[in-house]
Structure 1
Amino acid sequence: MIRKSDKNNPLVTIVIINYNTAEVTIDSINSIIENTLYEPYEIVIIDNASNSDDRDMLVRFASEKLITIYLQDENIGWNAGVNFGFDNADGDLLMTINSDVIVEKGWLTKMVDLYLNNENVAAVNANIHESGKSIISHKDGFLKILHGACSLISSDAWRIVGQLDSKNFRFYGTENDWSYRARSMGYKLILSKDSIVNHLGSSQITAGGGLSVRKTGKILDFLKMRLDGRIKYRIYNFNLKEWLSREILSEFKHAYLNGYLRILISTYIKVFFNFGNICSARKARILKRREGLRILSPDGKYQL
């Protein structure tokens, strides 16, 4: 459903990445169409070079529903797919939602209301449930990290904070990274407790948005990918005090007790070995933060 937007009813662009999961993606979109009371909104599909049968099914569906679909010539990955969708969106608010998410009645109205009625909000996260239970960690409704399975982001915040870092992150860590960058500029990330969506968990891991390595049994690949993203997020953003936090120290203890200490250490070495990349990534974040604080500060002053 699309109609003219205004400041009290901003247009929401919902971006869904598909990679060889057309049937699941169609189920997700049908749930959005059936359960979205808010308007105006539009749905945009990014297909990451799925096989011909999968793509043809999705193209036919998009044509029947009058949904915009972009067909990529190659699998550009989930992060780059979201960047492409957001950068080409018309919406004042930008929604990333996994292709295996089923939404409940009124989900989007509550998210938009929270955004409109709070100040300095970069993003609103839906209350994501898996197997009937919420998986979102929060404190009094405020989040440290978004869960990209269903996040509503201000287009202004997207412009100021910047894109997802598709260059350095395959999948894991990118939400942590963007969330940290947003909060470092003074933005808030909030949870819409009443916006319940159900995450089926079939496409949450892969870079392309298809069947997860966890579902296909590639547990070692899943672990390495997750550790790589977590370490990069910290190296690119953390100061010394944060590095020495109890959270990081407990990570090594957990790895030792659960038998993957060697993998954790080797991943740290691999990431640290690319020192030039670390310096470049940290410099880019510092400069972007300075720019963002300059834009957001009412008196033009900022602090590092």
Structure 2
Amino acid sequence: MTPLESQKTTPLVSILIINYNTAEVTIKSIENIIANTDYQPYEIIIIDNDSEKDDQHMLVDYAEQKSLIHYLMEENIGWNDGVNYGFSKANGSLLLTINSDVIVEKGWLKNMVNIYFSKEKVGAVNANIYEDGESIITANSGELKILHGACCMFSEKAWHLVGKLDSKNFEFYGTENDWSYRARSMGYKLLLSESSVVNHLGSSKITAGGGLSVIKTGKIFQYIKIRLEGRVKFRAYNYKLKDWLSREILSEFKHAYINGYFRIFIATYIRVLFNIKNILLARKQRSLKRKEALKILAYDETKQP
């Protein structure tokens, strides 16, 4: 008997897809999900991030034809807040976000739910994401340090206690790292469902947020800046103060110098340092929220038989 089969009831999974001017791709992704999902019950929620009218009309017509839940944003709220908003409207006890450029294989969702029930205190489960024929997910005995948002399923309870994605402090990259760190600091496990194979065809995350697809347009230094700033902010908001400047900084310094983006490296650290007052305030607020969440978790554990 599998962990899932041992459950009295199977939980509702809310599957969230964010669209921004990619209706044709999004529709193909949903058709692929429907064709390859042998798990019930699930619901599909579509968030349209203020796409062009023709794209939006195509998506709405499809959603209404398939009786799918859909919300049309009056402005582009970005990928992070798109996820936050979509999950706030979800009915499931398991919340899954999947990029519109991801193609799933048979059994993907059932395997993810099965892994979720395989251990205690699981905060999230990642699908095994492939790009160009190779898995990009690294796990240690099935456990992850960092989640990959291209296809990731969260416990609704963990999502509530850990908190939503921090769109205030992270514009594009860094939110998955940040949420993962916060979850693990509260004792939650982040697991990989190795048999839940999905194929990531491109990089729709920035597109879903309304920004330029910097890789496709050749703006590689803009891409480096966004990624580097996400990493530096992640450390600033989470690591101990004595560590966040020193940990990994030497290797980043060397890499930036060798690869010709030393100025971006220096400018990024200067921007973060100039914002140190707000960072310290945010760290204090996060610490208080974490303590309250840990109290709730401790209380819940005393109530378990």
Q: TM-score range by the shorter chain?
A: over 0.9
- CA separation in 2, counterparts of 1:224 and 1:273? 17
For 1:24, the equivalent position in structure 2 comes to 25
**CA deviation vs aligned residue, 1:144-188 (integer Å, no higher than 9, x gap):** 000000000000000100000011111100000000000000101
Asked if the contact 1:47–1:71 (Cα under 8 Å) also holds between the matched residues in 2, the reply is yes
Give the unaligned 5+ runs of structure 2. 1-6
Going from structure 1 to structure 2, the CA distance change for 1:34 and 1:207 (only over 3 Å counts) comes to closer
Q: Does 1:164 align with 2:170?
A: no
Q: Does 1:195 align with 2:196?
A: yes
Q: Does 1:152 align with 2:153?
A: yes
Asked if the contact 2:121–2:189 (Cα under 8 Å) also holds between the matched residues in 1, the reply is yes
For 1:255, the equivalent position in structure 2 comes to 256
TM-score calculated relative to the size of structure 2: 0.92
Greater mean alpha carbon deviation, residues 179-188 or residues 288-297 = 288-297
User: What SS does structure 2 have at the residue aligned with 1:129?
Assistant: strand
Give the unaligned 5+ runs of structure 1. 1-5
For 2:40, the equivalent position in structure 1 comes to 39
Structure 1 residue 210: Cα displacement: 7.1
Asked if the contact 1:25–1:99 (Cα under 8 Å) also holds between the matched residues in 2, the reply is yes
- CA separation in 2, counterparts of 1:209 and 1:133? 28
Greater mean alpha carbon deviation, residues 205-214 or residues 258-267 = 205-214
Going from structure 1 to structure 2, the CA distance change for 1:36 and 1:249 (only over 3 Å counts) comes to same
Structure 1 residue 140: Cα displacement: 1.3
Q: Structure 2 matches for 1:3-22, cutoff 5 A?
A: 8-22=9-23
Q: What is the number of equivalent residue pairs in this alignment?
A: 296
For 1:288, the equivalent position in structure 2 comes to 289
**CA deviation vs aligned residue, 1:18-65 (integer Å, no higher than 9, x gap):** 111111111111110000000100000000000001100100110111
Going from structure 1 to structure 2, the CA distance change for 1:110 and 1:209 (only over 3 Å counts) comes to farther
**CA deviation vs aligned residue, 1:252-290 (integer Å, no higher than 9, x gap):** 121122111221111110111012221222112211211
User: What SS does structure 2 have at the residue aligned with 1:169?
Assistant: coil
- CA separation in 1, counterparts of 2:25 and 2:169? 28
Asked if the contact 2:131–2:200 (Cα under 8 Å) also holds between the matched residues in 1, the reply is yes
For 1:119, the equivalent position in structure 2 comes to 120
Q: Structure 2 matches for 1:1-304, cutoff 5 A?
A: 8-206=9-207, 208=209, 212-240=213-241, 242-243=243-244, 247-298=248-299
**CA deviation vs aligned residue, 1:61-107 (integer Å, no higher than 9, x gap):** 10111111100000000000000000111000000101110100000
User: What SS does structure 1 have at the residue aligned with 2:165?
Assistant: coil
- CA separation in 2, counterparts of 1:117 and 1:243? 34
Q: Which amino acid aligns with 1:172?
A: Y
- CA separation in 2, counterparts of 1:25 and 1:69? 13
Structure 1 residue 137: Cα displacement: 1.7
Percent of pairs identical after alignment?
Answer: 67
**CA deviation vs aligned residue, 1:104-154 (integer Å, no higher than 9, x gap):** 000000000011121110000000000111001221111000000000000
- CA separation in 2, counterparts of 1:113 and 1:262? 47
- CA separation in 2, counterparts of 1:88 and 1:144? 28
Structure 1 residue 247: Cα displacement: 3.0
